[in-house]
Amino acid sequence: MSDEQVRLGELRDEIDQIDQKIMELISARAACAQEVAHVKTTANPGQDVFFYRPEREAQVLRRIKEQNPGPLSGEEMARLFREIMSACLALEKPMHIAFLGPIGTFTQAAALKHFGHSVVSVPLPAIDAVFREVESGAAHYGVVPVENSTEGMINHTLDMFMSSPLKICGEVQLRIHHHLLVCPKHGDQEITRIYSHQQSFAQCRQWLDTHRYGIERVTVSSNAEAARRAAEEPGTAAIAGDMAAELYGLEKLANSIEDRPDNTTRFLIIGREEVPASGHDKSSILVSMRNKPGALYQLLEPFHRHGLSLTRIETRPSPSGTWAYVFYIDFEGHVEDEQVRKVLAEVDEEAVELKRLGSYPIGVL
| Amino acid (one-letter) located at 159 | D
For residue 53, how many other CB atoms are within 10 A of its CB? Answer: 16
Q: Helix, strand, or coil here: 298?
A: helix
- Residue 257's contacts (CB-CB under 8 Å, 6 or more residues apart) are 178, 179, 180, 204, 207, 208, 211, 239
Q: Which of 105, 107, 236, 265 is catalytic?
A: 265
pTM above 0.85, yes or no: yes
By CB atoms closer than 10 A (0-12, 13-18, 19+), residue 319 is: exposed
Q: Which residues of 195-224 are buried (b: 16+ CB within 10 A; e: fewer)?
A: bbbebbbebbeebbeeebeeeeeeebebbb
Residue ranges per structural domain of the chain: 23-43+52-93, 96-175+264-271, 179-254, 281-361
Element (H, E) at 168: strand 167-175
Return d(Cα 15, Cα 3) in angstroms, integer.
Answer: 18
Order across the sheet with 251-254: list the strands.
216-219, 193-196, 236-240, 179-182, 251-254
The DSSP line for 309-339 is PEEEEEEEE-TTSTT-EEEEEEEES-TTSHH
Per-residue confidence (pLDDT) for residue 187, from 0 to 100: 72
What tens-digit pLDDT sequence spans the chain (365 residues)? 789 999 999 999 999 999 999 999 999 999 998 998 889 888 888 777 778 999 999 999 999 999 999 999 999 999 999 999 999 999 877 899 999 989 999 999 999 999 999 999 999 999 999 999 999 999 999 999 999 988 888 999 999 999 999 999 999 999 999 999 999 998 778 999 999 999 999 999 999 999 999 999 999 989 999 999 999 999 999 999 999 999 999 999 999 999 998 999 999 999 999 999 999 999 999 999 887 888 889 999 999 999 999 999 999 888 776 557 899 999 999 999 999 999 999 999 989 899 999 999 999 98
Question: What Cα–Cα distance (Å) separates residue 299 from each residue in 4, 134, 294?
Answer: 70, 31, 9
Domain at 281-361: CATH code? 3.30.70.260
- Matching fold, domains 23-43+52-93 and 281-361: no
Q: Is 265 a catalytic residue?
A: yes
Q: Helix, strand, or coil here: 150?
A: coil
Return d(Cα 226, Cα 102) in angstroms, integer.
Answer: 11
Class of domain 23-43+52-93: mainly alpha
Domain at 96-175+264-271: CATH code? 3.40.190.10
Per-residue confidence (pLDDT) for residue 173, from 0 to 100: 96
Class of domain 179-254: alpha beta
